[in-house]
Amino acid sequence: MLASSETAQTESAEAAALPEEEARAARAGDALNSTKALSKKQIDNGTLWLARCIYSETKRPEEQELVAWVVRNRVETGYRGNDSYREAVLDPYQFSAFNPGSRKRSHYMSLDASSQANGWQRALLIAHQVQTAPAAKRPFSKDTRHFFSERSMTGGRHPGWSARGEKVKPEGGKKIAEDRFRFYEDVR
């Protein structure tokens, strides 16, 4: 684990390394619909792991919410034998920042309830809201357990599993550009 000054330097370096548009989204996310930060009692282990995952995938709140639902779907359906947020997030080769050997892994795993990285407190709030939301708020079916970001794929390639599933759009008027995220259900 990094010392707190090293952690702060790492977080600053991570924020500086973000594309400007994502850094702006991260800063805006903390102010968007500003609400009081969660209490430490509200941040259980599941909320923390879900927040780490969504924060690693994107800094944009509207995208974090959709990614959080995909992770919740995986937990609720026991996808790949995982029935906790920690297991779902750490399942090898499911979320790139948590892959064994990823240079970002230790940074994201070090985030806790008191971390102050840009947008982190907002990610905690989104994770808590999705984790505790009624199932009726789900933006797509419970079988939507996959997504990818074209922007993160090298050479314009799509993951092999994308041909074995059905592409879905979120319900409720939530629009995400396809080059940012694509969601899939019934991947076999």
Q: What confidence score (pLDDT) does residue 33 get?
A: 52
Chain segment 105-157, per-residue pLDDT in tens: 999 999 999 999 999 999 999 999 999 999 999 999 999 999 999 888 878 78
Distance, CA of 127 to CA of 109 (rounded, Å) = 15
Q: How far apart are CA 85 and CA 167, in angstroms?
A: 24
For the record, the structure tokens of 36 come out as 């009081």
Radius of gyration of the CA atoms of the chain, in A: 16
Encoding tokens for residue 128? 């808590």
Q: pTM higher than 0.95 for the full model?
A: no
